[in-house]
Every structure is written in C-alpha cells, then in structure tokens.
C-alpha cells in the first residue's frame, strides 16, 4: 500500500499556517465552493485521509508519551488499500472539529481508546486547511465541500471492496461495508459527517455519531440538509454536552443523549478557566470511555431533564422497548428519542443510574 507514513504531530498539508498543540492557525483562510469542489480539493491535498496504524509508548527523560502512526490514503488507489484492509472488522471514521488537526487532543483521545480495543479499522479525516482558526465562519462554510469529499472517499472505498477478486471480500460486499461503517464527528466535524452521509451514492451509511455538534452561527447555513440530522444514516445518535453555547441544544438524531441535562457546565468543568470549552469536550471524552466499555453510560428515556431529576422517568421502558440503552459506541440502533443520565466529574465518568 502506497502513501507516506506519518508520525504524531505531522500532517501532509500544513503550509500557510502553524500547528500549535494540534490546533491549526493561519493568516490566509481558504474558502471552497460547496458544489463541484472535489476536483480542486484532490489536486491541492486540502483534505486528507489517514489510516491509523498503531500507538506506541515512547519515553523522553522522565516523561512517557504515546506516539501514533498513520498511513495517508490515496483515493485514487483504493484497490491497494482494500488489499491491506482487515475485512473482518468494521470501519470507523473520525472527523475533527474547528481549528483542529489529526493531532488534536480530541482525535488523540479517541485513537488511544480505540487502539486499546482493536475492534475497528480507523480512518482520520484531516481537513485542517479548511477548518483553520481563528476563521470560524470560513470553516463553517467549508463543511459542505469537506462533507462531499468524505462522501467521495466512502464511495471509492466501497466500490473498491466490491470489485476486489478475493472471495472473502466478495462475500462481504460494499453493502456490508456500509452497514458496518461508523462515522464519528466532533463539533463542526459532526456536521461534516452528516453531509458526507447525505451525499454517499452507493448506499446508506450504517451509523453516524455526532459529538456535541457545533451550534454557533449554524443558522447561516439555512437548509437542514446542511446540518447533521437523522436522515444521514441508518442510525444517527448524538451526545449533547455544551448545548446552547458551543453545542447544539436540540434533538438532531434518532437517539439523542443529554448527560447532566446537556446544557450549561458539565460536572468537573465548573472551576476550570474555560468551563464551556471543557463541557464541549466532554462529548468526545464520554465517547472515548465508551470505546473501552460498551456497557458504560446507562441512560433512561425521558421527556426532559427536569423529569429525570424528579425521578419521573420510567426505568422499565428501557427493558420493555429497546433493552438497556447505553450512551456512546454501545448505543442500540433501535433506540429512539431523548435519553438522560448523570456522570461523575472525573474519569471514569460513567455513573450507574
């Protein structure tokens, strides 16, 4: 399989800006037309796809760090990718948020968790050239083009799987690939995931998880088709932790989870310098923890946080309708509606009902 191997802290395209701790800033923001933009993106390498290979512990003096390795995928050579693809595993695609890179804190946290489970092929979408800080309105505008490019990538990968001559791959086929495909997007990346799901042409994506989908200025996008919604995949679940500030406060998917009410400041964030950023980040931290234990974060279906706090939610509904419903990667694809739960202020965050 061709393509450069990247170490943690590296990215294929970091020209015209600076990467500070996994956050990318530039003086020259880019705008890409939502329609007919995929060709220019491919030529400029503005959006890249990195196959996560491994995480290795390294030591520097007294400090110990985990170094991640990626292989950059060429959408034009998907047949070579499939030849090295572990077809016995489902695929998970991570999409970072505003002013982040493939080396962002959120992506590193998710990859550290997923590497310990070893249950997925993992691809990271690196769109930092189009989501660069401090230009949030530009990044918001660029989610359309980025989502379409992610959709093109998925179409190419699914088609390559179908066209492979290996019997095992043929038995699986692209329909099974899509059914077992899980796109996870944080903040603006959640809307990129939704747009990608909307524009995939070879079938319906199995699952999209939105981690506190971005809220500021989304009304400027107009149509609901420009944001994550339940039509974008067979199952769309959303974790709300910073609703009304950085995260969207209202229901968006088939199943929406509102830990600690999903609004205001999350437990453990109150005394920090930036409590609302901390609360926004809780979404990916909760999801990362669920990757290690699918039966963590048990939740209850309920109409509101107020009813949940009063104990007016019927816990028997969990077992009667869907079985126990967990927030995170273990969420049942039959779950529907609003779900509430409490969490601890520090990890491990999962709290029994």
Give how many domains the chain has, as a whole number: 1
Residue 63 counted as domain residue: yes
Residue 62's pLDDT is 46
Give all strands (DSSP E) within 99-230, no chain letters.
Answer: 121-126, 181-186, 207-211
Say if strands 207-211 and 235-239 run parallel, antiparallel, or are unpaired: parallel
Residue 351 counted as domain residue: no
Sheet holding 298-301, edge to edge: 5-7, 63-73, 48-60, 121-126, 91-95, 181-186, 207-211, 235-239, 255-259, 337-341, 298-301, 325-326
Residue 265 counted as domain residue: yes
Picking from 278, 241, 245, 246, the residue whose alpha carbon sits closest to that of residue 256 is 241
Residue 107 counted as domain residue: yes
Domain encompassing residue 314: 5-341
Say if strands 255-259 and 235-239 run parallel, antiparallel, or are unpaired: parallel
- Are 192 and 150 in contact by the 8 Å Cβ rule? The answer is yes
69 sits in which H/E element? strand 63-73
Residue 350 counted as domain residue: no
Residue 80's pLDDT is 77
Q: Catalytic residue positions?
A: 187, 212, 280
d(CA 158, CA 152): 10
Mind listing the pLDDT tens digit of every residue in the chain (353 residues)?
Answer: 344 444 444 443 445 789 888 889 898 888 888 874 444 444 467 899 999 887 655 445 444 455 678 888 887 788 777 776 777 789 999 999 999 999 899 999 999 999 888 889 999 999 999 999 999 999 999 999 999 999 999 999 888 887 774 555 455 555 688 999 999 999 999 999 999 999 999 999 999 999 999 999 998 887 777 899 999 999 999 999 999 999 999 999 999 999 999 999 999 999 999 999 999 999 999 999 999 999 999 999 999 999 999 999 877 666 555 578 999 999 999 999 999 999 999 999 999 98
Picking from 120, 202, 115, the residue whose alpha carbon sits closest to that of residue 153 is 202
Question: pTM of the prediction?
Answer: 0.89
Residue 28's pLDDT is 86
SS3 for 287? helix
**What is the per-residue burial (b if ≥16 Cβ within 10 Å, else e) of 164-179?**
beeeebeebebebbbb
Residue 198 counted as domain residue: yes
Residue 117's pLDDT is 81
CATH number of domain containing 259: 3.40.50.1820
Residue 222 counted as domain residue: yes
Residue 348 counted as domain residue: no
């Amino acid at each position: 399989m061709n393509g450069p191997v990247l170490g943690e802290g590296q990215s294929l395209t970091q020209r015209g800006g600076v990467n500070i701790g996994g956050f990318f800033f530039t003086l020259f923001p880019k705008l890409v037309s939502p329609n007919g933009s995929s060709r220019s993106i491919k030529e400029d390498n503005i959006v890249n796809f990195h196959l996560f290979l491994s995480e290795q512990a390294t030591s520097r003096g007294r400090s110990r760090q985990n170094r991640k390795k990626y292989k950059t995928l060429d959408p034009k050579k998907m047949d070579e990718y499939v030849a090295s693809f572990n077809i016995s595993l489902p695929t998970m695609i991570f999409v970072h948020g505003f002013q982040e890179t493939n080396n962002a804190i959120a992506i590193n946290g998710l990859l550290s968790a997923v590497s310990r489970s070893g249950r997925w092929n993992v691809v990271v979408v690196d769109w930092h050239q189009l989501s660069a800080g401090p230009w949030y309105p530009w990044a918001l505008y660029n989610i359309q083009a980025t989502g379409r490019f992610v959709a093109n990538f998925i179409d190419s990968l699914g088609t390559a799987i179908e066209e492979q001559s290996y019997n095992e791959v043929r038995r699986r086929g692209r329909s099974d690939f899509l059914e077992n495909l899980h796109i996870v997007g944080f903040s603006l990346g959640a809307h990129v995931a939704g747009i990608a799901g909307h524009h995939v042409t070879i079938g319906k994506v199995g699952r999209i998880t939105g981690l506190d989908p971005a809220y500021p200025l989304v009304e400027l996008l107009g149509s609901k088709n420009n944001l994550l919604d339940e039509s974008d995949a067979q199952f769309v679940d959303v974790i709300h932790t910073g609703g009304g500030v950085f995260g969207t406060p209202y229901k968006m998917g088939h199943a929406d989870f509102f830990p600690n009410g999903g609004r205001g400041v999350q437990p453990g964030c109150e005394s920090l310098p930036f409590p609302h950023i901390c609360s926004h980040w809780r979404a990916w931290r909760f999801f990362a923890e669920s990757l290690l234990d699918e039966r963590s974060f048990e939740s209850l279906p309920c109409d509101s946080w107020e009813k949940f706090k009063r104990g007016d939610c019927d816990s028997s509904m969990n077992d009667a309708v869907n079985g126990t419903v967990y927030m995170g990667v273990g969420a049942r694809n039959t779950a529907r509606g609003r779900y509430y739960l409490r969490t601890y202020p520090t990890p491990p965050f999962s709290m029994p009902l």
